[in-house]
Amino acid sequence: MSEAMLLMLGGLVGGVITITGQYLIARLNARSRNEKSADLSQKYLSIADITADQLEERINLIGKLDNRIGELVQEKRSMFLEISELKAKRLERDEQFEAMQARISALQTQVNQDAKERGDLRLKLAEFEAKYRAMWQWLLALLELMKKHDVTPIDPPDELKSDPEIARVIQEIKKK
């Protein structure tokens, strides 16, 4: 490219940067209700009659604003990432919470089922104990009847030999 083209391109870029800087400065100054600020924004908006020092000052100001904008963008990105991480953690926590609620519900169902089964088993045990007591009384009465009529009973099973009442009645029958 020729030098003239480069100069034109540099001038155009410089002009865009200057106008952008002036616009940003004007926006910043417009927010303050100070009359001095309004005069300064008018001063920055005028492109004609700019000295090299003023141009350098504005370029430096634009550079500072650009740096600050970059910092703000970076802060916004980091805040966005932080918010995204927090949302992901919250989602994970919610999923864990739902899983724990499902597990608690399943455990509660199992506890209820176990309690019902335990109640059923207690009823069956109570019925068995009542039958066992009645059968035991009947067996002792039967042995007493056998003793009364001199009938020798058969030897009881091993499980009943250890019972002292049965052993006593059988011994009495055998002694006769």
Q: What is the dihedral of CA 104, 106, 107, 110, to 10 degrees?
A: 160
Q: How confident is the model at residue 176 (pLDDT cuts 50, 70, 90)?
A: low
Is the separation of the CB atoms in 57 and 22 below 8 Å?
no
In the chain, where are the structural domains located? 51-175
What was the pLDDT predicted at 33? 43
What was the pLDDT predicted at 140? 84
Q: Is the pLDDT of residue 174 over 60?
A: yes
> pLDDT tens for residues 55-81?
788 788 888 888 888 898 899 999 999
pTM for this model (two decimals): 0.42
Is the separation of the CB atoms in 2 and 38 below 8 Å?
no
> pLDDT tens for residues 152-166?
777 778 877 788 887
